[in-house]
Amino acid sequence: MELNGADIVVQSLKDEGVEYVFGYPGGAVLHIYDALFKQDAVRHILVRHEQGATHAADGYARATGKAGVCLVTSGPGATNAVTGIATAHLDSIPMVVITGQVQTAYIGSDAFQEVDSVGITRPCVKHNFLVKDVNDIASTLKKAFYIATTGRPGPVVVDIPKDVTDPNIKVHYEYPSSVDMRSYSPTTKGNNRQIKKALELISSARRPMIYSGGGVILSGAHKELTEFTQKLGYPITNTLMGLGGYPGTDELFVGMLGMHGTYEANMAMHDCDVLIAIGARFDDRVTGDVKHFCPEAKIIHIDIDPSSISKNVRVDIPIVGDIKHVLTEMNNELGSYSNADNNDLANWWNQINLWRSKDCLGYDRKSELIKPQYVIETLYNVTNGEAFVTSDVGQHQMWAAQFYKFKSPYHWINSGGLGTMGFGLPAAIGAQLAHPKAEVACVTGEASIQMCIQELGTAMQYMLPLKVVTLNNRYMGMVRQWQEFFYESRYSHSYMEALPDFVKLAESYGHVGMRIEKPADVEGALKEAFAMKERLVFMDFITDKTENVYPMIAAGKAHNEMHMSSDRELA
């Protein structure tokens, strides 16, 4: 088949099985937009800002496990996309971002809307390409999808100069069916001897702990992890990125760990003698002070990325491989290893349940002000724990992570690594397009939502019935919390003045707006909102502005140095 470069881009996306492209047109991609116009297999979603395009593609990827796709123009189109690319990079989300570039002959001449997109994105992509020949478009896109979705996933940028998509130059088109790259072949199968060593250690554990992260979800290994955990009967904690990798409602689940993790999860981490880390990367928000991290534990680490192993914390038994493969093998062999002493495990659980009984997530349920925790709990109940929940970054993100007990993977969508405010709304757009019938809630704050609020327009254009749950405390809450704790309550520039009337704002976009000011109205409002199946409802919950996220481990402290709310200090 003879096609021009622009048609090759679109046809390649179609042959790759891409449903949606999130993008924004501009000079350097006009040929590609013309090609998009002539077909309807690949659906283009017009965002209001390129950052929105990347987050929406990212949200789509997180909600499906498939690669998200963006199309932006050169120069500002590409630079606006950078935040979203970095967001996907830090959380290892598969994404292919096509950026237009000025004509090959103009590259390096400071031409109109020229930036070195490959150079700018290099530190925040898994890989990137500059396509200089129309004959290379299809094979480069194939490689881009292959690299983005295999091994440890990540974003791949493909920069295409305008002349390469010239409608008048036609070449033979064939989309490659496979890729063979001598420089890239991720390990998937774990080393058998390491697996045996790990199983021996696992079965001899007296105070075991499973610590699983986003890698479980990326690998699609939630079933294998659940089987593994339940066969062993060991306690399991999830990282912020790993929530939903194990059912949050199960008795073996001790909650999230880390800076705002539960008391029981962090104490169990500190006291465990064998730690089984699965698809987690020992991030500083999880480990706290690495010198006092799991001081008594032998550590097993399963991860597909060799560079994750012993990066922050030295581990004793590394297993490099795809978690799904490795856990399947471990599950098959578990039967031949039996735990030496069930008494030890029972004692360990008694200890954990003692920690659990402190009810570290307790909050004042009699308050006359709306407690943010109550909103999330009610959201959980109203949606039966089955909604796709995206979030922005800050206190609301932590409350969503603590109080929405995710039962299954792909449902909790947040910017864990980069911590990008403005992520939630566009990510919800991506998730809703991926699951048109599902309930999608964006849990946000009045500060975060304003960072990409223009995407309310996108949601209207495509009639996406998102439910925006804004916990409005008139502060950048997490900044305010740190200023209260560490800067003697000097609230430097963390107060949100001149807030818009969110109800009117939502209405001006054609959506439904609600303001909720009393605890008694929370449940009714959420039920009413979710009953409106066809409409986006923007709920502005006026919450207690003094509420802080607890428990908390201050940055650089150990897991057993947790703070509870001031009136509920723990020993």
Partner 1 sequence: MRHIISMLMENEAGALSRVAGLFSARGYNIESLTVAPTEDESLSRMTIVTTGSNQIVEQITKQLNKLVDVVKLADITEGKHIERELMLIKLNVVSPEVRDEVKRLIDIFRGRIIDVSETTYILELTGTGEKLNAFIDAVDNKIILETVRSGVSGIARGDKSLGLTV
Site string for partner 1, 96-125 (x = CB under 8 A): ----------------------xx--xx--
Of 517, 506, 529, nearest to 425 by C-alpha is: 506
By CB under 8 A, which span of 70-78, 252-260, 305-313, 379-387 interacts with partner 1? 305-313
Of the candidates 182, 437, 490, 533, which one interacts with partner 1 according to CB under 8 A? 182
Q: Quote the CA–CA distance of 118 and 57 in Å, as a whole number.
A: 19
Q: Active-site residue 170, yes or no?
A: no
133 and 162 in contact (C-beta within 8 Å)? no
242 and 344 in contact (C-beta within 8 Å)? no
Ranges within 243-302 binding partner 1 (CB under 8 A): none
Q: Quote the CA–CA distance of 421 and 436 in Å, as a whole number.
A: 25
Helices 323-334/192-203 angle, 10° precision: 50
Q: In angstroms, what is the minimal distance from the CB of 134 to partner 1?
A: 17
- Contact call for residue 571 and partner 1 (CB under 8 A): no
Q: In angstroms, what is the minimal distance from the CB of 119 to partner 1?
A: 7
The CA-CA-CA angle for residues 247, 249, 251, to 5°, reads 100
Longest CA span, the chain: 76
Nearer to partner 1, 156 or 254 (CB): 156
- Contact call for residue 490 and partner 1 (CB under 8 A): no
Q: Active-site residue 113, yes or no?
A: yes
Q: In angstroms, what is the minimal distance from the CB of 288 to partner 1?
A: 20
Q: In angstroms, what is the minimal distance from the CB of 445 to partner 1?
A: 31
Of 421, 427, 411, nearest to 478 by C-alpha is: 421
- Contact call for residue 307 and partner 1 (CB under 8 A): yes
Of the candidates 106, 175, 184, 482, which one interacts with partner 1 according to CB under 8 A? 184
The CA-CA-CA angle for residues 62, 22, 41, to 5°, reads 100
Nearer to partner 1, 85 or 205 (CB): 85
Q: In angstroms, what is the minimal distance from the CB of 151 to partner 1?
A: 9
By CB under 8 A, which span of 31-39, 309-317, 472-480, 516-524 interacts with partner 1? 309-317
116 by Cβ neighbours in 10 Å (0-12 / 13-18 / 19+) ranks as middle
Of the candidates 181, 350, 366, 571, which one interacts with partner 1 according to CB under 8 A? 181
Of the candidates 231, 314, 365, 518, which one interacts with partner 1 according to CB under 8 A? 314
- Contact call for residue 147 and partner 1 (CB under 8 A): yes
Nearer to partner 1, 119 or 436 (CB): 119
**Catalytic residue among 142, 162, 298, 371, which?**
162
Of the candidates 30, 65, 106, 127, which one interacts with partner 1 according to CB under 8 A? 127
Query: Tokens 């799991």 map to which residue?
Result: 294
412 and 404 in contact (C-beta within 8 Å)? yes
CA atoms within 13 A on the CB side of 357: 6
Q: Quote the CA–CA distance of 64 and 411 in Å, as a whole number.
A: 9
Q: In angstroms, what is the minimal distance from the CB of 282 to partner 1?
A: 13
By CB under 8 A, which span of 23-31, 74-82, 177-185, 332-340 interacts with partner 1? 177-185
**Catalytic residue among 1, 37, 112, 200, which?**
112
Q: What does the block give as tokens for 273?
A: 């003698």
Site string for partner 1, 501-540 (x = CB under 8 A): ----------------------------------------
Nearer to partner 1, 147 or 352 (CB): 147
Q: How far is CA 125 from the centre of its chain?
A: 16
**Catalytic residue among 11, 16, 22, 50, which?**
50
Q: In angstroms, what is the minimal distance from the CB of 86 to partner 1?
A: 12
Of 140, 153, 218, nearest to 179 by C-alpha is: 140
100 and 127 in contact (C-beta within 8 Å)? no
Q: What does the block give as tokens for 536?
A: 């986006």
Q: Active-site residue 541, yes or no?
A: no
108 by Cβ neighbours in 10 Å (0-12 / 13-18 / 19+) ranks as exposed
Of 212, 369, 380, nearest to 303 by C-alpha is: 212
By CB under 8 A, which span of 126-134, 200-208, 215-223, 517-525 interacts with partner 1? 126-134
Q: Active-site residue 181, yes or no?
A: no
Nearer to partner 1, 183 or 492 (CB): 183
Q: In angstroms, what is the minimal distance from the CB of 126 to partner 1?
A: 7
355 SS3 class: helix
Of the candidates 44, 55, 62, 126, which one interacts with partner 1 according to CB under 8 A? 126
Q: Quote the CA–CA distance of 239 and 210 in Å, as a whole number.
A: 11
Q: Active-site residue 373, yes or no?
A: no
Q: In angstroms, what is the minimal distance from the CB of 203 to partner 1?
A: 29
Q: Quote the CA–CA distance of 10 and 80 in Å, as a whole number.
A: 22
**Catalytic residue among 39, 113, 351, 461, which?**
113
Q: Quote the CA–CA distance of 57 and 50 in Å, as a whole number.
A: 11
Q: What does the block give as tokens for 189?
A: 């199968």
Chain residues that interact with partner 1, rule: CB under 8 A? 118-119, 122-123, 126-127, 130, 147, 181-184, 305-307, 309-311, 314
Please list the active-site residues: 50, 112-113, 162, 478
